[in-house]
Amino acid sequence: MTAIDATHTAYMPSSHADPTAFVRRADGLCELDLMVSGASCAACIARIETGLREDERVENARLNLSTGRLALTWRGEAEAARELINKLGAIGYPATPYEPEADSDPQMVEEKRLLRAMAVAGFAMANVMLLSVAVWSGVGEMSAAMESLMHRISALIVLPAAAYAGQPFFRSAWQALKHRHVNMDVPISLAVFLACGLSVYETFIGHGDTYYDAAVMLLFFLLIGRFLDMRLRAKASQAARGLAAMQAASANRVLPDGRIEAIPAREVVAGDHLLLAAGDRVPVDARVVEGEGELDGSLVTGETAPVAATPGARLFSGMLNLDAKLVVEAIADRDNSLLSEITRLVEAGEQSRSRYVRLADRAAKLYVPIVHSLAALTLVGWLLILGEPRPAIINAIAVLIITCPCALALAVPAVQVVASGRLYRDGVLVKSGDALERMANIDTIVFDKTGTLTEGRPRLVDAGEISSEALDLAARLARTSRHPLSRAVADAAGMGETADRVTETPGGGLQGQVDGVSVRFGSARWLGLESGADPHSEAWLWVDGQEPVRFRFEDQLRAEARRTVKAFKQRGCRVILLSGDRKIPVDHIAGQLGIELAFSELKPQDKIAKLQDMKADGLKVCMVGDGINDAPALAAADVSISMASAAEISQAASDFVLQGDRLDKAVTAAIVSRGAKSRVMENFGLAVVYNMIAVPLAVGGFVTPLIAAIAMSASSILVTLNALRLAR
């Protein structure tokens, strides 16, 4: 673990529920979701999953770092849950059963703790620095008694402040040592303890050379880096929560005697008959038994066109019933329905991203052994040279402080904050802390079609070829309907009158009377006509005694779609189109944009499979999408982008959100991300040069802990100023 991926403070819910009550049975296996505290990096994932799999009963252990949620599967009895939770605690990661209904958010709790700790450290640093300036400026003039009083006041301010503000580091270091490993919080905690301990000794017994300001200054700068990084990662777990919220909480079960019984959706089992009223969400995967209607099927296909529901048709959980009353038969329970599967796919994608080893992680791997070795050698060397413990301890503390990873802790977050601010001004919202780093490495860009490359709403494309009389007749019917194609006709015709006695046939069309003449407007199948063979959507106007008139609709390309695709190609990126739509319109759009590789009629699992194939080939993939069905693919890609008008679930699963629905802002995100990576590398270079100069001076005894703290702060300011160059 690193200073940047600091171990989270252990979070334990107030209720210690019996874990066996949360165990699920499936295919002879026990399943349990746990909330794990203290996991913060890829090394934590490996330690947890490997530790659990040492138990022969465990079939699978998968930790999602963003949410802190662990999916655990084992053979045997449910009571084994207690043993497995105890094992997690034994390796340093307390866990409790996952309760979706719980109101508290561990991420937010920890964020508030860091803010309070930072405020306390900043307050103490400001006040102690004032006292220190008074002591420095009064050398030779201030009496020994007054100087001693200043040091005692400093002790009263710093000791409780350091004890509180240092808790994120102290707890993490203690957990690491208790379980026989070290992390970067160990040398930080050691430096603070030694600086405070030596200062107390000097205040009451020794020569009066104290280093209280060094201790709180160190904590303040480290807390800034930790908070910045956590703040940028705070929204990483929203996708799965949003999907869970889309699941229907209740269902109306039809009893054998015809009565309707309201039950929790989690109690629905395969074979139950359920009643769906207009506006209800489908609680589980089901099959239509009675009734005909239309549902919002964007969850499965991503397309705006409603899905016809007729007896025998299969429905998926999360679909929205738009009009008619339906009776359906459940074919799965809630945990085995499509929306639950999409949730699991999103979490699996987030977990794979959690394994991404960031530059700061790699740069910091050697930090702990090198710093401990240097400090120990400094202590031993000066003891051998002088034979006195005091100067040896002071020099060892100086080494610990001057090498403390403030510059390293700020190198990445400072750049992320500046780059995120610049992108925000340019209309791009950055939602993930390491998204910029991943975006800088992409070589493949994958687009969804509907709502991403296109505007996501059909338009009448042949209005000029249709007579004004036919357009008016169709519009009179269309103004009474909410169907996307009807709205397109109404928009093309403008405001006007409506037909009389209009009825709407779900999945068919509209029928009414205009001046006593029967007029129908709907699908070719409903009217008994033959469909056209081009890539357009269509509807037909049928009037008694007249030739049917075909209306063609097309989802228009975004104005900036062509230049966006061209810009990515110019930057050496491979461009691919993945869509749930039919092959003809998908190939048509791909041809217009010059995209050579396009796949159609893909479900969420199919999109993920395509992305996994690309990643297996060594490609670094960025996914751009907007539909609910795109959320798993967005989470599974190396980095993802969604539109501001996208479904909330897609936005939550994305790393970037394009404000104002300007697709070309995706190119801006790529350009700024590459610039951010360059600044991070420069910051690491500055940190290396700083340590090459400062460490030999500290080892040689030329630096006191106070000067070490000032030098450490100067290095932090330097990397921050370098990051600010990115704002231009």
Catalytic residues: 448
Paired sense of beta strands 307-309 and 250-254, if any: unpaired
- Compute the C-alpha angle 27/28/32, nearest 5°: 90
Contact indicator for 160, 120 with CB cutoff of 8 Å: no
CA dist., res. 347 & res. 62, Å (int): 10
Helices (H), 553-603: 561-570, 583-593
Concatenating the DSSP letter of every residue in 305-369 gives SPEEE-TT-EE-TT-EE-SS-EEEEE-S-GGGSHHHHHHHHHHHHHHHHHT---HHHHHHTTHHH
CA dist., res. 339 & res. 414, Å (int): 38
Concatenating the DSSP letter of every residue in 210-261 gives --HHHHHHHHHHHHHHHHHHHHHTTTTTHHHHHHHHHS-SEEEEEPTTS-EE
Contacts of 294 (CB under 8 A, 6+ apart): 306, 307, 308, 309, 322, 323, 324, 483, 506, 507
Q: Is 623 helix (H, G, I), strand (E, B) or coil?
A: strand
CA dist., res. 235 & res. 724, Å (int): 24
CA atoms within 13 A on the CB side of 307: 20
Torsion sign, CA atoms 103, 106, 111, 113: positive
Q: Give the DSSP H/E element, type plus range, for residue 636.
A: helix 631-636
Contacts of 455 (CB under 8 A, 6+ apart): 555, 556, 557, 558
Alpha carbon of 628 to those of 260, 347, 632, 649: distances in Å? 31, 14, 8, 6
Residue owning tokens 């360059």: 678
Q: Is 273 exposed, middle or buried (0-12, 13-18, 19+ CB in 10 A)?
A: middle
Contact indicator for 631, 580 with CB cutoff of 8 Å: no
CA dist., res. 492 & res. 192, Å (int): 71
- Compute the C-alpha angle 15/21/22, nearest 5°: 85
Helix, strand counts (H, E) of the chain = 25, 27
CA dist., res. 667 & res. 129, Å (int): 46
CA dist., res. 622 & res. 165, Å (int): 39
Contact indicator for 487, 306 with CB cutoff of 8 Å: no
Bridge partners for 460 per DSSP? 553
Q: Is 388 helix (H, G, I), strand (E, B) or coil?
A: coil
Paired sense of beta strands 574-578 and 444-447, if any: parallel
CA dist., res. 424 & res. 419, Å (int): 8
Contacts of 409 (CB under 8 A, 6+ apart): 3, 4, 221, 222, 224, 225, 226
Select from 597, 601, 564, 558 the least CA-distant residue to 579.
Answer: 601
